[in-house]
Structure 1
Amino acid sequence: MSYLQKPSYYTISLVVVLLLPFTILFASFLLPFSAYLRGPPPIAAGSVVAGGCSHGAADGGGGGGGGGGVRPEISILVGVHTMAKKHSRRHLVRMAYAVQQTAALRGAARVDVRFALCARPMPPEHRAFVALEARAYGDVMLIDCDESPDKGKTGSSAEDVTTGTWLNMGNKAKNRVNIFPRMYDFKGVKPEDFLEDTIGVHQLKQDLRWAQTLEHFNVTWLDPSSKMTNSLLS
């Protein structure tokens, strides 16, 4: 019998019966996937992972996302390790970032600031205040850990070296940039103690150092003709 002879009716029926389930299965997966490739579903504009709040609130408290335009090419995430009780310090950092945001900067880069703190222990008053911050600013990240100086997020010793070790272990943050000398320790209040193109000043543990640094970079400058200036000087 020749292999080139015309297949019988029963052979064709058997082939159709065998291939039909695979054809249906293939079509059910291929058609939705091809539609996704033509136009992926849009991401909700108000979605955000931190704090359970929309991006609008987060940007108002220190985020640098530009609204309603082309997405900036550079996106920077600034993580701040903090503790639940340090409400005033977090608000100071928010104000310092927010007052420096301009339309030009928002168009050039998106800067998001997130505060990371452990969920335990959390006294009732701090739990309420942290929840209020999360709703108002959307920049609070609660981590399932215990706040302790001996382990976890607030471990003592060289925290920058430890963080680098964690990133290496997780094979993360491969594109690292050394910003020295644009980020440096607080030296004093003389003009030569600060650099013109400063990115960040370290060791601002005391409020007085914060005030001196902010004043040097004219962050606290007020319009001389404003009523607020007259009230502060009177």
Structure 2
Amino acid sequence: MKNAPKPGNRKKIIIISFIFVAFFITLAFINKIQFDDLSNFTKCSIYSPSSKISSLPIKSSSENDIRILIGILTLADNHQQRHFLRLIYGTQSVAGAKIDVKFVFCNLTKEDQKILIALEIMLHNDIIILDCKENMDKGKTYTYFSSLPDMLKDESSNSINPPYHYVIKGDDDTYFRLPKLVETLMPLPREDLYFGYVVPCPSMDPFVHYMSGMGYLVSWDIVEWIKDSDIPKRHVIGPEDKVFGDWIREGRRAKNRYNAKWSMYDYPEPATRCTHELWPDTVAVHRLKTREKWVRTLEYFNVTRDLKPSKMYHIP
């Protein structure tokens, strides 16, 4: 045939064809690896909503750890404050304790709340919605404590009893330093305990008056008593911290009481008989009503000291 390639040229064509085939096979293989790597990277980068965090980081875990529930009474619409407090409490590392921080408010009343609060619950799982009309001194605190035993019994997936050793009612303008709180609680009884900042300010005797609403703590047996006793049910109207103290006194509860003054106190400014300067042994600071006061307090306690250096950011 006139156009038939010579034997030498035929050999070259076969070699070139083989090289082209090998090249395309190699290219396809490389693309497959890149696609698989990209796919795996995407899988690792997507946040899984099933990974809910309701408790704080712990350095150790054992059956002897103190279990604490901190219920921060707030309002449904205070989204920004909740997100801010999640930063404050989510970055505190606690040894010897399991601490759950929950945000507590009454029934939702607006359409947008149903969506926004539901999203918060899906992501953070740290909200308790009580069956009540939103209020400050008309029974919200009673509903909070009295609802917990049945609520936690229904939610519990294990047989831990009690579900918590201590329950705290706190304000959303109070900063709890959790390691210091745990350190203070370690030697204290886990039954019949009432812990907080005694008011009025000059008083140092926890058996005379009551604990400030900035944040007080009771042991689980008192929570169960609040649920079952008729004494709290008959008296729910009035300043909630004083009313709570009335229940304890009338019911002859809390033979163990601990006055955390002056480890708990109001922010130094404006100065009152309830304030003093910030100091290292602080358990809680109250009346942080502005972002500036929060920032000054967090700066004092050097809360970002564990921030690791990185080329991804520069914070002088």
Task: Calculate the TM-score normalised by the size of structure 1.
Answer: 0.59
Check if 1:114 corresponds to 2:102: yes
Residue 304 of structure 2 aligns to a residue whose secondary structure is: coil
Partner of 1:14: none
Count of paired positions: 169
**% identical aligned pairs:** 36
CA drift of 1:81 comes to 0.5
Residue 81 of structure 2 aligns to a residue whose secondary structure is: helix
Alpha carbons 1:114, 1:139 under 8 Å: kept: yes
Residue 135 of structure 2 aligns to a residue whose secondary structure is: coil
Q: What residue ranges of structure 1 are gaps of 5+ in the alignment?
A: 1-52
Residue 177 of structure 1 aligns to a residue whose secondary structure is: strand
Please point out which of 133, 136, 140 is paired with 2:127.
140
Larger radius of gyration: 2
Q: Tell me which amino acid in the other structure corresponds to 1:217.
A: F
CA drift of 1:213 comes to 0.7
Alpha carbons 1:65, 1:112 under 8 Å: kept: no
Alpha carbons 2:288, 2:294 under 8 Å: kept: yes
CA drift of 1:88 comes to 1.2
Residue 130 of structure 2 aligns to a residue whose secondary structure is: strand
Alpha carbons 1:64, 1:109 under 8 Å: kept: no
Alpha carbons 1:117, 1:141 under 8 Å: kept: yes
1:58-117 Cα deviation digits (max 9, x unpaired): 12xxx35678x422432222111110001111122221111111xxx34x1122212110
Name the structure with the higher helix share: 1
1:177-229 Cα deviation digits (max 9, x unpaired): 3211111100049xx81111111100011111111111111113475843465
Tell me how far apart the structure 1 counterparts of residues 51 and 251 of structure 2 sit (CA, whole Å): 28
Residue 127 of structure 1 aligns to a residue whose secondary structure is: helix
Residue 193 of structure 1 aligns to a residue whose secondary structure is: coil
Residue 198 of structure 1 aligns to a residue whose secondary structure is: coil
Check if 1:58 corresponds to 2:45: no
Tell me how far apart the structure 2 counterparts of residues 174 and 116 of structure 1 sit (CA, whole Å): 28
> CA RMSD, aligned part only?
3.4
Q: Tell me which amino acid in the other structure corresponds to 1:58.
A: S
Tell me how far apart the structure 2 counterparts of residues 58 and 164 of structure 1 sit (CA, whole Å): 29
Tell me how far apart the structure 2 counterparts of residues 229 and 208 of structure 1 sit (CA, whole Å): 23
Task: Calculate the TM-score normalised by the size of structure 2.
Answer: 0.45
Query: Is the alpha carbon distance of 1:204 and 1:75 closer, same or farther for their aligned partners in structure 2, counting shifts above 3 Å?
Result: same
Tell me how far apart the structure 1 counterparts of residues 51 and 252 of structure 2 sit (CA, whole Å): 28
CA drift of 1:163 comes to 3.0
